[in-house]
Amino acid sequence: MRQWDREFRRAQRRVLFLVMRSVMRCFGFDSARRIGAWLGAAQYALAGHTRRICLEGLAALQGRRSDDPQVARTLRMAYRVNTAAVLEVLSMVDRRLDAGRLHACCQVDGLEHLEAARNGRGAILLATHSGNSLLLAAQLADRGWPITVVYRRSPMMSLQFFADGLPRYGMQGILANEGFRAYAGMVDALRHDRVLFAMMDQGVVEDEAGMTLRFLGKDMPMPGGVTQLARQVRTPILPVEPLAAEPVWHFAIRPRLLLPPGGSIEEDTAWMLRHVEAQILEHPELWSWHQRRWREFPLAG
């Protein structure tokens, strides 16, 4: 029964993806915010079980009650922001967005930090699932930066969706699910002085490499590839901080993070996750609390 339920949910997500892609093909990239706001509000209202889980987790992190109106406002905003972001990503990966729109829809601060950090061993831009940060990566690629995006295969998308879509913007892609092959590809990209665009703010499934660590109030198997890469290749890690969703996406590339000396991979990853947590909690209305790789884990304690 459990396997049947998993397959049924996967089929549901696949159908939803196809419907959303068809909608975006009809209405275009510029409609994503309007449609996303409506769909996000509907999802918040109708998905009662998921909403309660997210409210409980967010409230615990903020030291509030789950029925606090402020917590509800934050989560409702997160639903709208990230539904719009998903629709934008579907549209821009499916069909190339022109350079003018790339730059008009996304403000990027802190490029001087990226320029200063590169030392011939590339750099890692550490983003989070907060809004449409793929616009940032595509904008950097349009400016001539050698960008390699690390992405995960989603059951609802075809294997070629990102593999075919990213090169439209001059970006390379690495499928993180491929284990050692993916890691070797990341090492090679950094050794060729490329900029690796990666995230580590989601749990991984049991059969993937991961270590159980506390993240946003939950004990979850978390990926340690970013910190391992930084140690092995001696490459800088620069956080990408989301600042706003309106009137355009606004991100800032922060100065490089310096890992504490002598730490193990587990200690380095835990230290990095504390930094990612603080960044998310600074702008909780921009993070995708309802994504399943966080919400499906129970609160610790």
Structural domain count of the chain: 1
> Hey, what amino acid is at 232?
Q
Which domain, by its residues, includes 261?
A: 2-295
Averaged pLDDT, 183-197: 96
- The neighbouring-strand residues paired with 130 are 287
pLDDT at 114 over 90: yes
E strands, the chain, where? Answer: 106-109, 123-127, 147-151, 172-175, 195-199, 211-215, 218-222, 237-244, 249-253
Buried b or exposed e, range 272-282, using 16+ CB within 10 angstroms: bbeebbebbee
Is 300 inside a domain boundary?
Answer: no
Residue 301 lies in a domain: no
For residue 167, CA distances in Å to 28, 75, 145 come to 20, 34, 13
Question: Would 142 be classed as within a structural domain?
Answer: yes
The reply to whether 215 falls in a domain is yes
What one-character DSSP code corresponds to residue 73?
H
> To the nearest whole number, what is the mean pLDDT of the chain?
91
Per-residue pLDDT at 206: 55
The dihedral sign for the CA sequence 159, 160, 163, 165? negative
Residue 81 inside a domain? The answer is yes
Give pLDDT, residue 263: 86
Whole-prediction pTM: 0.92
Let me know if residue 45 belongs to a domain: yes
